[in-house]
Structure 1
Amino acid sequence: MYTIADFQKKVEENINSQQFVSKPEGLYKPIEYVMELGGKRIRPTMCLAACYLFSDDVDKAIEAGLGLEVFHNFTLLHDDVMDNADVRRNRETVHVKWDENTAILSGDAMLIKAYQYIANVDGKVLKEVLDLFSKTAMEVCEGQQYDMEFESRSDVMVEEYLNMIRLKTAVLLAASLKTGAIIGGADPECANNLYEFGENIGLAFQLQDDFLDVYGDEKTFGKAIGGDIVANKKTFLLINALQLASGSLQENLQTWISLDTFNREEKVEALRNIYNELKVDDLAKEKMAWYFDKAIAALNKVKGKESMKAELNQFAMNLIERSR
């Protein structure tokens, strides 16, 4: 009997066994570098777990899982270029270590490599898997575009934001689960319920990320608290605050947002106090819980190995119950 931990180990072993570097090395070395940065390998792990729900032969989902992980890392590489980020997982980003042109071209190559891995799945399900992957890849790009557009907008609505994070983050997790289910031989209803499970967990996870950026413990959160506040990033918390604030609270909020020069700690504390007064922290927790409940309801409808369903349930709880 497999566990989620077994699948994480299997994924890591398979990634480590890949030969990412060939000629010209200037194109492929950055790919190897990105893939060696690590991460939780959530998407390929979910792909294998979903396959195992319906089939004991999880190895037939490995290639698809690798493709999903390469694609995910491709999006991070290009995100770093667009965000002009210097560090990813405590190491230099590709465009810093090499240059921007290299990052763009190596990222393009990663997208092609992702398709090459996906194309190795069994021919009986290949078209269905490829169609799902292509649809998802386009949705992730749409989500990124919305995210960039929101930077210059002051009228972003909550529903717009939720759709953006659904596209940018949640659909890839959902597609990973559905891909594994398709490869494992699940019926369409079970595959769609797993997609719904992944989509809602992805939404809850991103809302938790927004929340922890303000209220988290830096040691357990893994990055500096208040990064979204400092950047005036449109999050669930800020959008709700902008819509709910009035009078002096609204003036105070707008003042902090408009400042070009400020003390980081003061701004983070000021925004946190505004959020507390408006109780947008409670709104975030309620929305997280709502998405989590929707996810578990979808998972409960899925047929398959009960032991793996229990593992997926616990995995979902671990994802959104990260320590504050």
Structure 2
Amino acid sequence: MYLEVVPVGTETLPDLVAYARVAEDAGLDAVGFPLGGALEPTTVLSALAVTTSRVGLVADVSPAYAAPYNVARYLAALDHLSRGRAGWRLVATDPAALADLHGVEPPAAERRARRAAEYAELLPRLWDSWDDDAIPADKERGVYVDEAKIRETRWEGTEFRVHGPLSTPRSPQGHPVLSVEVADAPSRALAAEHAEIVTIGADLSRAADILAGLGGRASLALLALPTGIRPTAALAVEAERAGFGGFRLELDRPAFDRLVGETLPVLGDRSVPAGRTFRERLGLPRPADRSHEGVAA
């Protein structure tokens, strides 16, 4: 049973470090961080990366406002700093105030779906613009970077235009693990085509119906419980029967401590799978190099 926890109401670095260390020591699989708070997700998780060693680190990402090239760099940096524990969660909605903060109108649903689809296609191509062995660091030959193994990504999409390789070498996982929040028809279609993890926030009967309509592409489906709610043993059994492999839980520190102290002991086997990276522990293959697909159709 996979468990991903999201700190709520915890926004100082010492408190977040303590939260993440308890999550890791308790054998939880990942710590997520949401948009809309006082701190930017990839920045927070990069700080947590150097104070933890096993737990996955999943940053919420919105396709509505941020340039995909910058997001690709931030996530690659998180994967490097954590030695292969980064994930990213494409969210289907944003807090309404974000549009005002960016000085723009929120994108209509159709445009937001196009942007999310291009994110899911473009970011992997940027990560693949470096071969795994592009940095031989060969002192004898005097070659640090093999420029023949760095390729330009040329993307001409409806929403984005990107020419050039990423400035960051390919990270330990190749691509950080992609999770998609499923909340509407466009996000269901995106998840069915691209997601490695899906999160579905609905009552279990509706969530199970949504999951059944995804076609089984994702390796792991998470039931996102309302903020502050912890799973019971009975709910865990019911969710597993419906095809869910775990939960995504938004918990403040008191509720999180009750999860660790009271709930985990009744959830059964919580051993974390072996593996050096987040991707390996999820049983996901290393992504194939897609750099040759750099020009959008």
Q: State the TM bucket, normalised to the shorter chain.
A: under 0.3
Calculate the TM-score normalised by the size of structure 2: 0.28
More helix by share: 1
Please identify the structure whose Cα radius of gyration is greater.
Answer: 1
TM-score by length of 1: 0.26
